[in-house]
Structure 1
Amino acid sequence: MDTVASSADFNRHDVAVLGATGSIGGSALDVIARHPQRLRATVLGAGRNVDALIELCRVHRPLHAVIDDADGFTALRDGLASAGLQTRAHAGAEAVSALAAGDDCDTVVAAIVGAAGLPSTLAAARAGKRLLLANKESLVLAGELLMAAARDGGATIVPIDSEHNAIFQCLPAPDRLAAGQASAGLARIILTASGGPFRGRSRASLADVSVEEAVKHPKWSMGPKISVDSATLMNKGLEVIEAHHLFGLPGKRIDVLVHPQSLVHSMVEFIDGSTLAQLGLPDMRTALAVGLGWPDRVESGVSGLDLLAQGGRLDFEKPDLEAFPCLQLAYDALAAGGTAPAVLNAANEVAVAAFLERRIGFLSIAALVADTLAALPAGPADSLEALEDVDQHARRQAIQGLAAHRMPA
């Protein structure tokens, strides 16, 4: 990965925002709009919501708009023309990848949700873009492939998850660009977790929790899937796997601490005994401003942190792996390597969907994931096609396993 850069190289960025109609895309566009002399949204991409994409084009006037759903092309093209916009319409997954790798952007905000975001993320990495990575699946499913593509293409990856962005900020300048190669002075990484809505509860007390309880996060307003992942601590397990690929550390040197205030976003410990922490209000615009402005600091719209106003205390505790075994399952999948993280992710998506549909109980999420991992031993993760095949195989296996965990009628 290219580690030689000067401020002069970053005077003006043309930015592709993929997943523009989602919350991260909206935050990215908010930061971009604050710096019209420095940042320009040239490509906006969305999944299926043509009307929302057209409205964003009215505001931001990109060169290109792309809808992942190929059937949406006519509506997008005609809607842009009706709005009097010169923005060119595109549709389909191949078009998303082509624009991510193309000449009309040098920076890509990869915020497409799920495995659908993986091809365009890889395309941007291979093309040497500055990649603001908010797509978890790209690292969980294909971390080895993505980091290799970034190294070979000379891409710069800036993680946008608040935890990984905190680590990025705490590392020395050359090391943060080292594409998965650990700093010689880095001892360990400490990811923080809010603990979710069930922090402090025993495993037995979680047997009958409802969907409504599981999605009611004490700190964040999120979609149902990620809210459940937070409740099971699977989200933190996935972040451990991401941190391994981003920063080149084995799982045994990546720790998790529960921090209910959610003000310390993560910490980095060095071999000299120093620990650096990044603190801030829980607002994604901070991490996006770090990526969009790097190596400079730019205004994000987020106010500074007043610790006294936030209660004047910071608490930490160890995660309860008996009550929340998904975190341990993620560590196990990371240790197994190869395709195991892809199996973990796929089985978890099936299990969480079944829980949200009230077909299985909360504790059965981890049980179903464990069963699927046991049924599908890890193999080599040496191509995107192999990983996509494993993903589908794991989903079928998990669906078949639902019967053993189904709630009584």
Structure 2
Amino acid sequence: MSSEDTLRRWRLILGRYAAQPLSRARFTAGDWRFDEALEYLYGREYEGRGLSRSGGGSSLDLSQLHAVDWLARSRKLFPREVFERMQSQAIERYGMTDLLRDPEVLNSLDASPALAKALLTLRGRLSADMRNAVREVIRKTVDEITRTLRKDFVNALVGRRNRMRRSFLKSAQNFDARATIAANLKNYDATRRRLVIDRPLFNARIKRNLPWDIVLCVDQSGSMMDSILYSAVIAGIMSSLPAVRVKLVIFDTSVVDLSHLASDPVEVLLTVQLGGGTDIGRAARYCESLITNPRRTVFALISDFEEGASPGALLGAIQRMAEARVKLLGLAALDETANPVYDRQMAQRLADKGMHIAALTPAHFAQWLAEVMD
């Protein structure tokens, strides 16, 4: 990369406060379009530090670049992943709530988990005429996540592989590599040193007939927005599956039973009230009261395990459920990156009482459920 290219890149990174302002002769027209879009958003970082936007060497008149224009230009300039990140940062980090005052503008935004989380956090400050637009963005986000995750839960929870019976359903997940090799050894080509697969074999799946109860107990404190979003979607997916009964409970210092909404993740998300303290023990005791068939019940606690109340009630409820043979799962994270941030000491105390603790993506959670229900 030439020194000129390096200089141009640093100018785009540093913005108008770069030590060596660039003239229009040094920047191409495309460079200036990038610069305008980046400056409109990230120039706010300097404002937050007490620096004026009037400084630097750029002649950009920011008043001429409004939020709607910025959205339209940025969508064309940047790759989708970059634009979605900029869009969410505009709302979450830089407080550009002017993007959320016009339903038409909101409908023009690209639905994404980041935008959905921002809207759910801010919805108490939105005008009444924005509710339908917010609901539509949430619905689009939920639909996209559902399309991504549904096959994992269907494959994991509807049936398990039956190695005694072959299937005509030729999917990679049902492929039986060992049996296929054994059945095709006669086709081995010694000259080319290759095994020719004439007849691949696939395992059939058998449906689970005995029902399972799954109790999702979800922390709705402010730090758990990712987990709430994916928990609502997972509850909706599992509610549609045969032989699975879902109970959905959310909590902070209070406990709210949303089992009647479990099949509608959009309504669940619009019902959740983020914030407040955390009383996990109270929620665990309530969920314990919902259990009627302990040996065919999974209790999944989705939390950062930051207990705000005395831990005795929580540990007691977990121990009683463990003694009753309830399958106990503790999820420290439930987002697509599975970045674990939780109270490890409390997690260890829960594990000592019989709860299995993990930090998992939603897809891995599906497999984990299948394993404990097998």
Return the TM-score normalized by structure 1: 0.27
